[in-house]
Amino acid sequence: MMLTLIEGAEIHSPAPLGQQDLLVADGRIAWLGKGLTVPPDWPLVRVDGRGRYLVPGLVDPLAHITGGGGEGGFAFRTPELAAGEALKAGVTTLVAALGTDSLTRSPAQVLGKVREFRAAGVSAYMYTGSYHLPVKTLTGRVESDIMLIPEVLGVGELAISDHRSSAPTHDELARLVSEARVAGLLAGKSGVSFFHVGDGRGALAPLRALRDGTDIPLRQLYPTHCNRNPWLFAEAIDWGRAGGWIDLTTSSFPELLDDGEQLAAEALVALLAAGVPADRISFSSDANASLPRFDGEGRLVEMRCGQIASLWQECVRACALGVSLEVALGVVTANPARALGLAGKGVIGVGQDADLLLIAPGSLAIERVMSGGQWRT
């Protein structure tokens, strides 16, 4: 077994821990401190981390690794994501999902791709289910998918307040979220329900109804795309102040911003200013999703593809806008890991998985990526 000692890096766990040495053994962080003496015959590789930040690998709660799209017909399908692309972007943990199309793309396809990513060193997981109810599953039931398939953390992306949804009723959503929650309890997983929120005027109303009209704990409800329009964002502020998760999408393009979407970094600044607790906010890349623009009658105007590199880019942008590195890092590491119930991820500490990024302090450029204790870039 090879040991790696990263020496003299400034560690951000995301909290600043100062200059320390970090020992990696068997895919985990084995020791953290100063002045470790190692016997000369140990198989040790020393890495000079001086003048560098060492931060946790990024945790991305939504990536369409099998591609997505198709809202304008088959010519508009988006491509699959490569595991190497995720690692290059600093993403060492991600959760895969189906998008609008769950007919020509299937949960089995997502699971196969998740396992491909795992073989390449990415800690990949997935949501069972799909935009539309009744949801597509692997075993025929959401509960058994979550209980019996290790990679399945919860159910998602469930579409609400969107003309592309299946217009689910309150009772349908309540039953589905409850099933996922109970299965999560039994399997020792989060059993979280991840919601795609669209541009519909209903915004977060279906989730407020679940919060207020059922016994489902608030932390089971995880809405994404909360920065896509002003009315949804206003509701997200209240949702976050009440203790709910808020996920912001980092992939965007200028025309969407012209339509009222906010960049994730700017939305983060606004949420913090409005008094939303920092530890309730996460970013996701929506990698390889279609990013469609529709006209007032729901016709596709144009489409782009989500980018996994946007996750770190928006974290860097948030720092440039005055957000502390600790808070900005938390949004792409510790917070999503907690929302997803991944205890070994998102934080630098003894016993945690050795998913680490070496960062240049000035530019915050990613220089090296380690996942599972091995250097990948």
Active-site annotation holds for 258 = no
Catalytic entry in 199, 286, 353, 355: 286
**C-alpha to C-alpha distance for 93 and 87, rounded to whole angstroms:** 9
Q: How far apart are CA 147 and CA 329, in angstroms?
A: 31
Q: Which residues are annotated as catalytic?
A: 286
